[in-house]
Structure 1
Amino acid sequence: MTGEQGSGTIDGQPVRRPDPTRVNAIGFDAIVDALGAGMRDFRKAPRFGLFFGAVYALGGILVLLTASALHMSYLSYPLAIGFGLIGPFIAVGLYEVSRRLETGEPLGWAGVLGVIWAQRKREIAWMAFVVLFVQIMWMYQVRLLLALFLGFKSFASFGAFVEVVVTTPEGLMFLVIGNAIGAVLSVLLFSLTVVSFPMLLDRDVDFITAMITSVRAVVTSPKPMIGWALVVTATLIVSMLPLFAGLLVALPVLGHTTWHLYRKLVPPAPQEDEAGLQSPTASSASSPAASASPAR
């Protein structure tokens, strides 16, 4: 776990200002535990999970239909993958469901949907901008690679586009480089958002602090976190194949799991006094030994 930052005094006693970006190191067992907890949350509140999964699935279908209607079927693949990048923002409602199940608060549509609406004036709106920015970067690099390797050819159908991509040297080069760049952007986005969205919902911090915490969580536990990223990617790809139908279950389970993973990665906020400084008592309570088992 990272240390504390800053210091001060209260009544002559040394105190430390808590570091809001501190994280716990985790192992693969934490991923398994979080996944089990995510599945339990889905079973406890399936109507909410299915609702958000349906919204996500219908959005993916709309993206594909839009690309087809505009006679740009070759954009179907990057659009579908790019749409998957905004999953963390849509999952805010799922985080709220898990939070309420965790605290014993009542579950209701007004409360769960209202929390998403309430975030428009908070830092989650800025995080949504970050996600969309990365998605736009993804789309522009696809267009650039198309122009470089395939020119500005028009394709009669998505099948014709796939045939050119997998049967020509230029198409294969486009596929390899495009997926390599996409993988880098996906890792970047995953690192920025895996903790930041649930943290912004749970705590009163700015989005920069949330992103730093998220990146620190990945850097502190790289193997488990990259493993989780691969699980998320594989699950989303498989779920998208049957016209996004698999997302009805996959998305809510992944969303609930992310909440519980956040709980394991980010230790509970320490008690602070009115000056925002951590007292010696609270400091000892939040020591590495005391926070070895994060709140669930």
Structure 2
Amino acid sequence: MSEDIRTTAPMLRKEPAIRRIGRSDIVDALSAGLRDFQAYPAFGVFFGSVYSLGGVAILACAFLWDLLYLVYPLAAGFVLIGPFVAVGLYEVSRLREQGRVPTLSGVFGAIWTQGAKEISWMAFVTIFLFIIWMYQVRLLIALFFGLHGMPAGAFPGVLFTTPEGLAFLTVGHVIGAVLATVTFSLTVVSFPLLLDREVDFITAMITSVRAVVSNPAAMLGWALCIVLMLFTAALPAFLGLVVVLPVLGHTTWHLYLKLVA
């Protein structure tokens, strides 16, 4: 009997409890995230610059290879890997929450330590979702415009003035919204949770989805806030991400603290 109890005990581990939050909690988290960025701007500028330069590099490759019709989906899909890039920002906020002073070695040491564990699997999930994003774009282009795609110089006119182009935009945005919702639900608290506690990445993703399901209105508001801020930041050649990513990253940490008991 005792052996059976010992065998099944690990399977009975409780999942993290989810709290209910409202609009005021998101505002509080944003204020706390802004304070974290102001307290340690060097970390924010560093991770924001890495993210911004990554976006610039991807778009430069699209221009270099004459794939201008992929610029918009690449820019939109690049947002999906933002939660992974912001792991260092979560650590800065975590240390500050504990009353400790973040240091370069401490932050990168935590990233390195956790990266060898479950966070690396979550990173794989986000990159996989980005690949799926780009594959569905390529599939839709083939379905609506043929296997050869569309001429780079003609794509704006084809996109906005033909039935195929308008159908492509409509279907693409619907599928993109679904993929973005799935990614948001899987990652909104996954990375902070893995950084903060000893849980596996499957539990982290399930907890993240539970947080969204338990707070649909508040999380929809947060998702729209993210989209608006990232869209505005990406307009000036991704340069705005140098500031916006740190604020969003720090805010995500404080939102995680409010959501997961």
- TM-score, reference length from structure 2: 0.92
CA drift at 1:72: 1.5
- Give secondary structure in 1 for the equivalent of 2:66: coil
For the 8 Å contact 1:73–1:155, the answer to whether it is kept is no
Consecutive aligned runs of 4 or more in structure 1 exceeding 6 Å deviation: none
Please give the residue correspondences for 1:3-22 in structure 2 after superposition, counting only pairs within 5 Å: 19-22=14-17
In 2, the alpha carbon distance for the partners of 1:60 and 1:237 equals 13
- 3-state SS of the aligned residue for 2:191? helix
Q: How does 1:166-177 map to 2 (within 5 A)?
A: 166-177=160-171
Per-residue CA deviation, residues 87-145 of structure 1 (Å, 9 max, x unaligned), is 00000000000001111222211111222222231101111111111111111110011
Q: Alpha-carbon deviation of 1:20?
A: 2.3
Asked whether the 8 Å contact 2:226–2:248 carries over to 1, the reply is yes
**Identity, % of aligned pairs?**
60
SS at match of 2:199: coil
Partner of residue 92, structure 1 = 87
Largest Rg, 1 or 2: 1
Other-structure match for 1:155: 151
Q: Distance in 2 between matches of 1:203 and 1:93?
A: 16
Structure with higher helix content: 2
**Residue 18 of structure 1, CA deviation:** 5.7
Pairwise CA distance, 1:69: 1.7
User: RCO higher in 1 or 2 (8 Å CA, sep ≥ 6)?
Assistant: 2
- Note closer, same or farther for the CA distance 1:147–1:108 as it changes in structure 2 (3 Å cut): same
Distance in 1 (CA, whole Å) between partners of 2:149 and 2:117 is 44
Structure 2 match to 1:246: 240
- 1:202 and 2:196 matched: yes
Q: Unpaired runs of 5+ in structure 1?
A: 1-7, 10-16, 268-296
1:25-49 C-alpha deviation (Å, 9 max, x unpaired): 1111111111111011111011111
CA RMSD of aligned residues (A): 1.5
- 2:51 alignment partner, one of 52, 56, 70: 56
Q: Which residue among 126, 133, 152 is the counterpart of 1:138?
A: 133
| Aligned pairs, number | 251
Change (3 A) 1:156 1:39: same
Contact 2:23 2:218 (C-alpha < 8 Å) held by counterparts: yes
- Determine the C-alpha separation between the residues in 2 that align with 1:33 and 1:255: 14
In structure 2, the residue corresponding to 1:233 is in which secondary structure?
A: helix
Q: TM-score, normalised by structure 1?
A: 0.82
Which residue identity lines up with residue 247 of structure 1 in the other structure?
A: L
Tell me which moved more, 166-175 or 69-78: 69-78
CA contact (8 A) 2:69 2:152 kept: no
